[in-house]
Amino acid sequence: MSVDQHTATDSEPMPRQVKLVISLLLVAAFVMILNETVMSVAIPRLTDDFAVSAATAQWLTTGFMLTMAVVIPVTGFILERFTTRAVFLAAMSCFSAGTALAALAPSFWVLVGARVVQAAGTAVMLPLLITTVLTFVPPARRGSTMGLISIVIAVAPAVGPTFSGLILQSLSWRWLFGLVLPIALVSLALGAALVRNISTPRPVRFDVLSVVLSALTFGGLIYGLSSIGEAASGHTPVPPALPIAVGAVALVLFVWRQLVLQRHDAALLDLRPFRTRAFVIGVVMLLVSMGALFGTLILLPFYLQGVRGLTTLETGLLLLPGGLVMGLIAPVIGRIFDRVGPRPLVIPGAFLVAVALGLMTLLDQESTSGLVITVHVLLSLGLGTVMTPLMTSALGSVPAGLYTHASAIMNTLQQLAGAAGTALFVTIMTTGVTDRLAAGSDPVAAQAGGIHQAFLWGAGLALVAALLSFLVRRPTSSPDATPDEALSVH
């Protein structure tokens, strides 16, 4: 069976080997993505232990994101060139080695290096999972499986800070890695013992120039966007405009290079999925949703700790119900999608996201914890309702020969959306706080006002996405058609 040659039909039961591979990939991807956000809560502890500044400590998160941004665009090539088994074992080995090194790291920069090794494995795992599902799960049952992937994409980052807060309440930061390591090693051992090849690789050209341009493009954009918040506070060594400008120029050159190479089916990241209207609409809406999710994840802790005066652990526990709700409804939403398609889910879900962000503008110094939980749960319900249908319909609209590239595109852009959403929300908040302090407001009231302003912008963007939701359609592409045959009808 080849990734390029076989897609399961609706009446075909999935082979046991495919179910096993998908199950292992789901567990591994969840643990890996959870690990992406655990360090944010640990930053204060690490600044003390390693005697580094907060700006330097942020490299534990920034380095992880940059590595993801550089590796993910290459996953289209990796998944075509190597077998499922080889990719899984390599990714899991990288993550396990990085986790072990992080738990034992004797110095700060060794810990940063360990995070980079972890990220190299993480970046490959999610595209591998999505491509495997698209290839081997019948379209009529795809939504329920993609619902489980939504748990990985949305819930794992959401519960990461809670997990971190619970651990740090009584244990050293090293246990953030020590508790994850056994799960990673068990997944690696099970993969080595049980996973067999379910795909057939094919020889594809490796274009070094494309890799360099990709690293400059996505590394520059994500680093620049991630440092906007620090720059607004006056704590960044490099003006964000510089890496963003480098990334923008490299992006133009990267796109030009891929358009030339894809004429010969040799692109590092084939851009033909963008010819499909359903893919473009789904990706745009998904990016707004991811921006809202990550922007909220960064702002609510600012509000709860800076305005309400709660501890890190209390903050994590207040945000936990929303993450759990998103995880619980994702498989249900997937099954409903299989029956009714995307529109009946995406339209109300998108408007619910806009309403929830609008309600967050009401949060102030007097707001109760019950109101915070309620509004966050509403946002989680909305995001959980739109993400699975958008992902499934967008990726399912491209021909099977482009699944690996469509998955790599979507995952790359999700990283950009997370960085952009965080940058937008933090910048608006910081600007609002600065203006209010200059006008004579007390610090707590100034921070509450800045957060209000950021959520107002978020609600406006979410409303635009909600209006776009009326354009979402059920996928119509034939998986057996060649890329050019399938795309010629769009």
Q: Residue ranges of the domains in the chain?
A: 1-206, 207-267, 273-490
- Beta-carbon count within 10 A of 2 CB: 12
Report the C-alpha gap between 67 and 72 in whole angstroms.
8
- CA–CA distances in Å: residue 155 to residues 300, 345, 458, 462: 16, 19, 20, 19
273-490 CATH fold: Growth Hormone; Chain: A; (1.20.1250)
List Cβ neighbours of 322 (8 Å cut-off, separation of 6 or more).
158, 373, 376, 377, 379, 380
Residue 125 has pLDDT above 80, yes or no: yes
- Answer whether 4's CB lies under 8 Å from 202's CB: yes
At 323, list the tokens: 């993450």
- pLDDT, position 3: 40
At 371, list the tokens: 């109101």
Which residue's entry shows tokens 């090194």?
101
Q: What is the mean pLDDT of the chain?
A: 82
- Answer whether 204's CB lies under 8 Å from 77's CB: yes
Residue 255 has pLDDT above 90, yes or no: yes
Question: Which pTM was predicted?
Answer: 0.77
Instruction: Kindly state the average pLDDT of the residues 390-411.
Output: 85
Report the C-alpha gap between 350 and 365 in whole angstroms.
28
Instruction: Kindly state the average pLDDT of the residues 434-443.
Output: 82
- pLDDT, position 212: 92
- Answer whether 62's CB lies under 8 Å from 116's CB: no
- pLDDT, position 55: 63
Q: Which of these ranges, 43-52, 80-89, 124-133, 230-239, has the smallest mean pLDDT?
A: 230-239
Band (pLDDT 50/70/90 cuts) for residue 229 is low
Give 64 or 188, the one with higher predicted confidence: 188
- pLDDT, position 118: 93
At 305, list the tokens: 């700790």
Task: Single out the residue of 288, 281, 300 nearest to residue 162, CA to CA.
Answer: 300
Report the C-alpha gap between 328 and 59 in whole angstroms.
33
List Cβ neighbours of 406 (8 Å cut-off, separation of 6 or more).
273, 279, 394, 395, 398
Q: Which of these ranges, 127-141, 346-360, 361-375, has the smallest mean pLDDT?
A: 127-141
**SS3 annotation, the chain:** CCCCCCCCCCCCCCCHHHHHHHHHHHHHHHHHHHHHHCHHHHHHHHHHHHCCCHHHHCHHHHHHHHHHHHHHHHHHHHHHHCCHHHHHHHHHHHHHHHHHHHHHCCCHHHHHHHHHHHHHHHHHHHHHHHHHHHHHCCHHHHHHHHHHHHHHHHHHHHHHHHHHHHHHCCCCCCHHHHCCHHHHHHHHHHHHHHCCCCCCCCCCCCCHHHHHHHHHHHHHHHHHHHCHHHHHCCCCCCCCHHHHHHHHHHHHHHHHHHHHHHHHCCCCCCCHHHHCHHHHHHHHHHHHHHHHHHHHHHHHHHHHHHHCCCCHHHHHHHHHHHHHHHHHHHHHHHHHHHHHCCHHHHHHHHHHHHHHHHHHCCCCCCCCHHHHHHHHHHHHHHHHHHHHHHHHHHHHCCCHHHHHHHHHHHHHHHHHHHHHHHHHHHHHHHHHHHHHHHCCCCHHHHHHHHHHHHHHHHHHHHHHHHHHHHHCCCCCCCCCCCHHHHHCCC
Torsion of CA 47, 52, 56, 61, to 10 degrees: -30
Band (pLDDT 50/70/90 cuts) for residue 458 is confident
Band (pLDDT 50/70/90 cuts) for residue 110 is very high
Asked whether this chain's domains 1-206 and 273-490 adopt the same fold, the reply is yes
- 1-206 is a CATH 1.10.390.10 domain: no
Instruction: Kindly state the average pLDDT of the residues 124-152.
Output: 81
State the distance between the two ends of the chain, measured CA to CA, in whole angstroms: 28
Report the C-alpha gap between 115 and 101 in whole angstroms.
9
Band (pLDDT 50/70/90 cuts) for residue 96 is very high
Report the C-alpha gap between 385 and 390 in whole angstroms.
9
Count the residues in the chain: 490
Band (pLDDT 50/70/90 cuts) for residue 232 is low
Report the C-alpha gap between 165 and 312 in whole angstroms.
6
At 160, list the tokens: 């990461």
- pLDDT, position 488: 47
